[in-house]
A and B are shown apart, each in its own frame.
Chain A
Amino acid sequence: MTFEEIKKILEENLKGKIKELINPFPRRMTLWVDKADAIETCRALKEKAGFYHLSTITGRDTGDKLEALYHFAQNGMALTLRLQTDRNDPKLPTTIAVYPGAIFYEREVHDLVGINFEDHPDMRPLVLPDEWPQGIYPLRKDWHYNREKGVIE
């Protein structure tokens, strides 16, 4: 489907909920909605717009907010869904009811950026070690890795 066709479908199904819908490069589009509308948006994307494939989820620290970018794909178009959440209480609804393949991606984002996915059945660490301290998220901008000084400089 082309950008115009997908735009029409999304505007019909998500009336007044779209914050931003752009087409920055050929075969790429970005959709920004409020996190309260996340599940409804995912359903519309899968059932109406034909985005069956969730490629991955990127977690990002924008400085004052935390952001989750869901990368969807179909033949001829890759769509990025942008959701933002507060840094002090980072919560997003889980999308695994719509996209069961999101289960590991959400765990990875939880590990590295510290976004809690509400109602996710299994929020154990996936990529960080078991002894990793609680509340420290390495992909946030305020975390820096300090390499130990070598014996010989």
Chain B
Amino acid sequence: MSTFILPVGPQHPALKEPTSFRFLVDGETVVDADLRLGYNHRGIEKGCEERTYIQDLYLLERVCGICSNVHMTVFAQGVEKLMGIEPPKRGLFIRCLMGELERVHSHLLWLGVAGHEVGFDTFFMYTWRDREIVEDILEMVSGNRVNYGMQTFGGVRRDLDEMQIRKVLDGIAALKARTPYYLNIGASEPTLVARIAGVGKLPLEKAVELNAVGPTARASGWKSDVRQDDPYAGFGEHIPFNIVTDEGGDVLARVVVRAKELMESYNICEYILKNLPSGDIRVKAPRKVPEGEVVSRAEAQRGECIHYIRSNGTDKPDRVKVRAPTLANWPATLYMLRGGYVADIPIVMAAIDPCLSCTDRMAIITDPKGNEKVWDWETLRQYGIDFYRKRGIKL
């Protein structure tokens, strides 16, 4: 049987990570996968060299809409090391709190997207309804729902008062009561499990070899988490938490890991709020940074986020390198897609939580002679749902 090429993407330029895939397919099976990035390469690294540190902080927040806070955190703590300043403990705890609230909103968003990709829209409605609770908390704490602008060199920019702490704890308690239900559905609802179990397999040795990060790596049984491996901000002050891992290595395991991580994040938030040290939230930072270089890391919701910063003694950096977790997970994703079904492409890609899930447009070539038929993401998603429906899996 002959093979042909199935191009997927690139999509709408307003999305964070438009990506183009070329799948070599043999009938319904993906034989090989290839990737082309750069449809939204904005030259932020070059832009950082032309701006001052404080301008860069807000530029880097805009690397990503979902993990904006983590990029700010990584850059701020790297520059703090170069400046030789240490934020006060209260500032570090609030820094951690923002990171965990962001993880909660992102994982709830992801659970909904995963449900949507397999045609389980009720799940999507439920998780996104609950996500509003954490979005409201973030808006109350920072003033913004998406780009919070909370971090700065030497600490954080806004403090929490007693009333806010009480409201955050109430919201966390509400989420804590609802999340076990999602974990139960994700892990044991028979139709959903039939759709995601064994799909997008990534064995442990491949996850390590291809340098996968975050929940993708942990769902293959690799116990790696920057919060524990390289404690930063308040995690250096021994905030207790468990690293969630799963041996499954498939999409089911990734759902389970993220749902359990939500519970861990709620516990971290509660611990932080109940043990919030008193005192200042920031110290004054100098405008110029002494010459040096530093590697700064943090655990974003999608995995390890790393910045390399080199300063030259002026108020502008010499080099800033940003690596967001999605790039680290692409080699593993290409591995997962090989040997799978075309119908599984949406959920396998969505399972690493790229910002690709909102894909807009793609072309599908159905005839090697060149008769082209264009499908959009919605059609491919529906194709996947119908493919499994014919095989008796009805969500």
Residues in chain A within 8 A of chain B (CB atoms):
24-25, 27-28, 30, 52-56, 58, 60, 69, 71, 73-76, 78, 80, 99-105, 108, 111-112, 125-129, 138-139, 145
Q: Are A55 and B331 in contact (CB under 8 A)?
A: no
Per the bound structure, the CA–CA distance linking A129 and B13 in Å amounts to: 14
Contacts of B36 in A (CB 8 A): 126
Which of the 9-residue segments B1-9, B111-119, B144-152, B292-300 touches chain A? B292-300
Q: Which of A71, A76, A145 is within 8 Å of B229, CB to CB?
A: A76
CB-nearest residue of chain B relative to A74? B229
Given contacts A52-B208, A99-B211, A104-B327, contact A75 B308 (CB under 8 A): no
Among candidates A52, A78, A108, A138, residue contacting B297 with C-beta atoms closer than 8 Å: A78
Report the tally of A-B residue pairs with Cβ distances under 8 A: 91
Q: B38, A101: Cβ atoms under 8 Å? A: no
Whether B323 and A55, one on each chain, are in contact in the complex, defined by CB atoms closer than 8 angstroms, is yes
A80/B43 contact (C-beta < 8 A), A56-B323, A71-B306, A104-B330 known: no
State whether the Cβ of B328 lies closer than 8 Å to any Cβ in chain A. yes
Q: When chains A and B are docked, how far (Å) is the Cα of A145 from the Cα of B304? A: 30
Interface string of B79-92 (1 = CB under 8 A from A): 00100000000000
Q: Please indicate the chain A residues that have their CB under 8 angstroms from the CB of B37 in the complex.
A: 104, 126-127
Q: Given the interface contacts A104-B327, A127-B37, does A56 sit within 8 Å of B306 by beta carbon?
A: yes
**B230 close to A76 (CB less than 8 A):** yes
Residues of B within 8 A of A (CB): 35-38, 41, 43, 45-46, 81, 208-212, 224, 228-230, 292-295, 297, 304, 306, 308, 310, 319, 321, 323, 327-328, 330-332
- Could you jot down 20 A-B contacts, CB within 8 Å? A53-B208, A55-B211, A55-B306, A56-B306, A56-B323, A56-B327, A58-B319, A58-B321, A60-B310, A73-B230, A73-B297, A80-B295, A101-B211, A101-B331, A101-B332, A105-B323, A126-B37, A126-B38, A128-B38, A129-B38
With the chains together, A90 CA to B264 CA distance in Å? 47
* Beta-carbon contact of B310 and A100 below 8 Å: no
Instruction: Name the contact of A145 in the complex, choosing from B43, B308, B330 (C-beta under 8 A).
Output: B43
With a CB–CB cut-off of 8 A, which chain A residues contact B208?
Answer: 52-53
Assembly CA distance A102 to B294 (angstroms): 21
User: Closest 5 interchain pairs by CB?
Assistant: A101-B211, A127-B38, A56-B323, A58-B321, A75-B229
* Contact residue among B224, B319, B330 (Cβ-Cβ distance under 8 Å from A53): B224
Task: Evaluate contact between B308 and A69: CB separation under 8 angstroms.
Answer: yes
- Could you list 6 further interchain pairs (A-B, Cβ under 8 angstroms) beyond the known A27-B230, A28-B295, A55-B211? A55-B328, A60-B319, A60-B321, A73-B297, A78-B230, A104-B37
- In the assembled complex, the Cα of A99 lies from the Cα of B209 at a distance in Å of 7
Chain A residues lying within 8 Å of B310, measured Cβ to Cβ, are: 60
B223, closest chain A residue (CB): A75
Chain A neighbourhood of B43, CB < 8 A: 138, 145
| Contact between chains at A56 and B38 (CB < 8 Å) | no
Which residue of A has the minimal Cβ distance to B225? A75
Contact of A125 among B38, B209, B332 (CB under 8 A): B38
In the complex, which residue of chain A has the Cβ closest to the Cβ of B330? A104
Closest approach, in angstroms, between the C-beta of B297 and any C-beta of chain A?
A: 6
Complex interface: chain A residues within 8 A of B319 (CB): 58, 60
Which B residues touch A105, using CB under 8 A? 323, 327
Report the minimum CB–CB distance from B141 to chain A (whole Å).
30
Best-buried of A24, A101, A108, A129 by chain B (most CB within 10 Å): A101
Question: B323's closest neighbor in chain A, by CB?
Answer: A56
Q: Which of B210, B224, B228 contacts A101 (CB 8 A)?
A: B210
Q: Which residue in chain A gives the minimum CB-CB distance to B81?
A: A25
